[in-house]
Each structure stands twice: as C-alpha cells, then as structure tokens.
Chain A
Amino acid sequence: MSLADLTVRWSGRVLRHRPAGSGRSVLDETYLGLATDNRWSEAGLRAYYFASDVGLVAAEHARHIAIDVLGDYAERLERAVFRVPISLDRVLRLTDPAVVVAMGAGPINTWILDLARTQAAASYLVSQVDRLQGLIVPSVAFLDQPERFNMVVYRDAIDPAVVFGTPVHERDITIVSSGS
C-alpha cells in the first residue's frame, strides 16, 4: 500500500500556545518556518504544531529549555494555551506502525530522538505524498503513551480559513525548567 493510500481525514480540537499577553494570534504566521529545533519540519518548511493535551505542551517546551539552558540556571515562562478546531483531509498517522513501515523505516521509537532524521523524514513525506496536509506523531516526551500526540500542519498545503476554526483561550500556564 502506498503512503498516499494511508492518508486519513482528521478533525478535532488541539492545543497551541504563545507567550501570555502576546498581541499576536496563536495562528500568526510571521515566524512560521523559521524555528530550527522543531522535530517534524526543517527550517524553511512552514508548519504549525499542536498538542493533544496541556501536559504535553508543558513537557515538550520545558524539555527543549532544559536541553539548551546550562545547569544551575532556570527559566520561567508564562504561556497562553489555546484550543484550536482543525479539520484536515489528508493526514498521515505516524502513530500507526503500518504507515512507518510504508515509509521504509524501522520502528519509530528507534529514530524519533534523532532530530535530523525526523526532519528529513518529514521533508520526504511532504515531497512524496501529494497534498499532504499534516502528520500525527508521537510526542517524544511521552513515547510510552501513544494516545498523547502532536499534530503537525503544513501551512503551504492548506487554506487556514478552511482548516482552522476560531481559537479559544483555554488557560495560561507557567513553565519552569532548569538546565541539565
């Protein structure tokens, strides 16, 4: 079965966050595609990231800070979490082992921690699957809990006015992370 045959429709509500008090929309595109450390998009590939739950939001953000900040230092960030309705027509579920096999890759848990490899895998999928709108991927913060996931939506494959509903502010959270 080809990768295109494995795409599915997906709709639901997922979470995205911005700095608390920011004047920008949570779906603002100004800096989309410029981050260098997102797992499923190389710099230049514009992608929105979402999370299935607020614990995942906090864990993933804190994890990156802990990697970057040196030991003995800590950061405290106030973030506003929004719930965003999404409706997509062509999504690949990398949480489904059959999709990963169709990619020609080994079990995802054996390579998901390799940032260069996941970014390359995403670029491969975008190039190989016509009109691929997004991925559902395991969270590296919760590899033992496959029901918790990230949704990656590729901006240049969608019309935001059609795909996204109105974001609703869910809550503000404080993320405190110390260096490792």
Chain B
Amino acid sequence: MTDIRTAGLRTVRDQLGLSQESLSRALDVSARSVERWEAAGATSTSADVARRLALVSEIAALADEVYGDDVATFMATPRRSLGQRTPREAMTHGDLEAVRQVLINALDGHWA
C-alpha cells in the first residue's frame, strides 16, 4: 500500500470539471472512495491507484498551464488522437496516458 495526500483532490477534480463518479472511473475506484478521500485529505491505497492519482494531478497542472481559463473547453472538445472522444470521456474510461500525451504535445508547441 502507498500513503498519499488527497487534500487537493477536490480542487483538481473541479479544475477538470469531473464529477466524483467520473473521477472514480478514471481511478478505477468507487465513488465512495473519492468522496472519502476528498474529506480525509490523505489515504493509503494501491500503487496503481496512487500512480493514477498522480497522473490526474499532472493532467490538471498541464491543462491549466496550456489552456489557462479555457480548460473547460479543452475537456469538452473531441479529438482524433483520443479516438474522437473528449478528454473528459477518455479520462472517464481510464485512458489517462492519452490525455497526458495530448497536453505534452501542445506544451512545448506543435512544430513542422
């Protein structure tokens, strides 16, 4: 088991416009777990869930850096690189790496 801080989880979830239900699917845990973690500020969980939580936090930080006030538009815009899904839909299906990749591709600029 891995000890993690979840104090900022609600902020991250709000920033990405995800419901507790959507975030729970992204993390492959129950919605009740998300609710409990947001209230508690810390938890102990599996290494895989801890990795997914770190990815969600990184996605939120990257989305804020790249899109600023337009994160909501980004999350609701379907993309070919996500199989014609929106980032919100891709995350809800647990495809966090693909959403992270979209943001990394945009961060340093698209070139040539």
Contact = CB atoms under 8 A, between A and B. Distances in A.
A68 B106 CA distance: 11
Contacts of B19: none
A19 B65 contact: yes
Nearest to B112: A39
Main secondary structure of the interface of B (DSSP, over half): helix
A18 B107 CA distance: 6
Contacts of B104: 31, 34-35
Contacts of B74: 75
Interface string A16-60: 111111111000000110111111100000000101000001001
Interface string B48-69: 0000000000000000011110
A150 B80 contact: no
Q: Which of A35, A73, A78 has the most CB of B within 10 A?
A: A35
Contacts of A118: 112
Contacts of B77: 69-70, 73, 75
Q: Which of B79, B102, B111 has the most CB of A within 10 A?
A: B111
A79 interface: yes
B31 to A, nearest CB: 29
A68 B79 contact: yes
Contacts, number: 88
Which bucket holds chain A's interface residue count? 35 or more
A32 B108 contact: yes
B84 interface: yes
B44 interface: no
A25 to B, nearest CB: 11
Nearest first, the 6 closest Cβ-Cβ pairs linking A and B are A64-B110, A39-B112, A49-B111, A70-B78, A61-B110, A73-B77
Given A60-B110, A64-B110, 16 more contacts: A17-B109, A19-B67, A35-B105, A36-B105, A37-B110, A38-B110, A57-B109, A60-B111, A63-B110, A67-B80, A69-B79, A75-B70, A77-B106, A118-B112, A150-B111, A150-B112
Interface of A: 16-24, 31-32, 34-40, 49, 51, 57, 60-61, 63-65, 67-70, 73, 75-79, 118, 137, 139-140, 150, 152
Interface of B: 65-68, 70, 73-74, 77-81, 84, 101-102, 104-112
